[in-house]
Structure 1
Amino acid sequence: MAKGKYQQWLEPDNLLLLQAWARDGFTDEQIATKIGISKQTFYDWKKKYPDFSDSLKKGKEIVDIQVENALLKRALGYEYVEYSEECSEDGIKKKKTVKHVIPDTTAQIFWLKNRRPDLWRDKRDLEMSGNINNPFEGVSTDDIKKLIQNE
């Protein structure tokens, strides 16, 4: 009896290949094309076979963590060492220079808007109450007169 196509993709080597493709940034649709199945079949396999789905998740998770780390590093600023060689009459001298990368405001804003949207998002949700057709509903005539006189 012949194996179903899905069974070959549940073998350890192929699960590792799926993980690598996900890590390399291939979309679900691109991976489906690479293994020769439709996008719908791909999604069906993800639902039906946990090992298949887990391999894809692991691959994507690794890259997501690397990008998060790079974004945080960029937001906070960092130092690195740069090596160079200089030629002189005495021969070649190796030079070590510590370089500083200043914190990146754009990376900071992006990080804060996504990690602390309650404090940093641009859009604020305001709740309003009252009758839009009659904005003075519930306000006494005396209160309106006082408001007018204070202007």
Structure 2
Amino acid sequence: MQRSQVKKWLKKDNLLILEGWKRQGLSNEQIANNIGINRKTLGQWAKKHAPISNALKKGKEVTRFEVENALYDKAINGNVTAMIFWLKNNWSEKYNDSKLSIEEKEVMIIKKKKLSADMRIAEAKARLLEKATDASNERLEKMLSILEESAKEEEEQE
């Protein structure tokens, strides 16, 4: 049955279906499932049959470049929508829908990093406090205070 099935998938129409599935973002395992075979079998087919291998590759890689090139050509030839789309995706630091200035974005990134660090410290503190005995609790509190002061100093230096 495997041989007759691979012959079916070597036909032009079915190779186009393979390319389409890959373009849609399906994994080889999902494609194999659609065909009704094991992922390893699909891999063997791709090794033994160049058209299947090419269809799987083209669907994913070549198509991206074909679309990208077509978009670029439209943008260069004056299609305003294509120009906007291309600029937003390829020069996002200048062309984006954000109302924030570059400086405001940098401040947001710093605040996000600080919040993340504060959360990690709080989580570590909670874990340590749960495990700590009364005798070690005092030392732990001192160590955490030192870490918090160090983090504040680093923040002020930024």
After TM superposition, the score normalised by the length of structure 1 is 0.45
Q: Indicate the structure with greater strand content.
A: 1
Work out which of the two has the higher radius of gyration on C-alpha atoms and give 1 or 2. Answer: 1
After TM superposition, the score normalised by the length of structure 2 is 0.43
Q: Indicate the structure with greater helix content.
A: 2
